[in-house]
Amino acid sequence: MKIRKASERDINEIAEIYVDSWRTTYDGLVPREFLNGLSYETSQHKWQSFYDDQVNETFMYVAVDEIGKVVGFAAARCMLHKEREGELYALYLLDQCQGQGVGRSLVKAVANHFIISNVSSMFVWVMKNNRAGRGFYQSLKGTYTSDRQSEFGGYVVEDEAYKWDDLSLLT
């Protein structure tokens, strides 16, 4: 598995992974009607806009298998709170790649990118009901910091934030 910075030519595969991952990961956590309403086209626009957003210093990394197919991605951006702080905005993998260290490798690439950019901390939001996601970030020594509510298709979910104050722990 190779991890590399995403390019514009990866947007279509990123969009498909996003939709397919939502439909498997969040089935039972958000309404099925919402999941069925996700489209590759809308997702492509979302990720193209994210890729093009230079105001928030956005970037993405992809995991590529041995035949050159993108099988996962991480999207991140720099947030300006009291100081510059990194946000792991999204991390999605195809089902068959989960549990193989691909997610960890993508998080490591994001952490390295932030360190090089003089961003020393990072946070991520994860649905409280997503036990696997929460467990993943806890296994990476993310510290719970806060919670919020999000809305998807009229359905409200609880989210938790995990933070790393020292990104060198992820590299």
CATH number, domain at 111?
A: 3.40.630.30
For residue 22, what pLDDT band results from cuts at 50, 70 and 90? Answer: very high
Q: What does the pLDDT look like over 1-16, one tens digit per residue?
A: 999 999 999 999 999 9
Judge whether residue 81 has pLDDT over 70.
no
Judge whether residue 158 has pLDDT over 80.
yes
The candidate with the shortest Cα–Cα distance to 83, out of 114, 49, 54, is 114
- Please indicate, yes or no, if residue 153 is contained in any of the structural domains: no
- Please indicate, yes or no, if residue 79 is contained in any of the structural domains: yes
Question: What's the pLDDT score for residue 162?
Answer: 97
State the residue for tokens 């498909």. 16
Question: What's the pLDDT score for residue 64?
Answer: 97
For residue 117, what pLDDT band results from cuts at 50, 70 and 90? Answer: very high
Q: Would you say 156 and 149 are in contact if contact means Cβ atoms under 8 Å apart?
A: yes
The residue among 30 and 83 whose pLDDT is bigger is 30
Average pLDDT of the chain is 93
123-138 average pLDDT score = 94
Q: How far apart are CA 49 and CA 72, in angstroms?
A: 18
**Alpha helices per DSSP H over the chain:** 11-25, 32-37, 40-52, 102-116, 131-139
For residue 61, what pLDDT band results from cuts at 50, 70 and 90? Answer: very high
For residue 140, what pLDDT band results from cuts at 50, 70 and 90? Answer: very high
85-107 average pLDDT score = 92
- Please indicate, yes or no, if residue 151 is contained in any of the structural domains: no
- The phi and psi torsions of 64 (rounded to 5 degrees) equal -120, 130
- Please indicate, yes or no, if residue 55 is contained in any of the structural domains: yes
65-90 average pLDDT score = 91
State which residues form the domain around 79: 2-123
- Please indicate, yes or no, if residue 11 is contained in any of the structural domains: yes
- Please indicate, yes or no, if residue 157 is contained in any of the structural domains: no
Q: In this structure, what token pair is assigned to residue 48?
A: 């193209």
State the residue for tokens 């996601």. 133
Question: What's the pLDDT score for residue 84?
Answer: 83
Q: How many domains does the chain have?
A: 1
- Please indicate, yes or no, if residue 81 is contained in any of the structural domains: yes
- Please indicate, yes or no, if residue 18 is contained in any of the structural domains: yes
